[in-house]
Amino acid sequence: MNKQRMLEDVWMRLKEQDAPGFDEYAKSCQYITSDGRRCAVGVLLPMDYLYEHINDFADGVCELFDDHPYARKLIEKEYGPIEMDFMQELQYAHDQAATDEARYAESFLDRFRRQLKRLETKHDINTEKLI
C-alpha cells in the first residue's frame, strides 16, 4: 500500500473542499455529507459510488469494507492492498480534527495535520510534504 501517496491525495482533496466531512444535521462525520463534503476515506471513493450507496454505509471503516467490498477494490486499484490499521487511523485523525473545533482556534487542516503527525513513525509517512 502506498500510504504516502494516499495521504497526499487525501490532504489535497480535503484542502480543495476546505472543510471536513462533518454533517451538521447528523452531528457526525460522514463518508459524504448531504452537501457533498467527504471524509478522509470518502475522498478516496468516486462521488457517484458514494451517492449511490450513501444510505448503506456502516459506521466504521472495517464495516464499510466488509459491507461494500467494491469500495475496497476501488481504493486498492489505486493504492495497492489496504492496511486496515492505517485506514482506520487516517479516518480517526479526520474525525478528531473535525470535532476538535471547540478546543482549538486553528483551522481544520491544521488540526488534521497535528493528528496525522502522530502516525508518522508507525506508518512511515511524512506530514512535512503536506502543503
pLDDT digits over 23-76, tens only?
Answer: 888 778 889 988 899 999 999 999 999 988 876 666 789 888 988 899 999 999
CB 20 within 8 A of CB 111: no
pLDDT digits over 19-36, tens only?
Answer: 999 888 877 888 998 889
Which one, of 31, 34, 32, 40, lies nearest residue 11 by Cα? 40
Indicate whether 89 belongs to any domain.
Answer: yes
Residues comprising the chain, all counted = 131
Indicate whether 110 belongs to any domain.
Answer: yes
Range of the domain at 99: 3-126
Indicate whether 115 belongs to any domain.
Answer: yes
Indicate whether 131 belongs to any domain.
Answer: no
Give the global pTM: 0.90
If one counts the domains in the chain, the total is 1
pLDDT value of residue 53? 82
CB 57 within 8 A of CB 67: yes
Indicate whether 59 belongs to any domain.
Answer: yes
**Higher-confidence position of 129 and 87:** 87
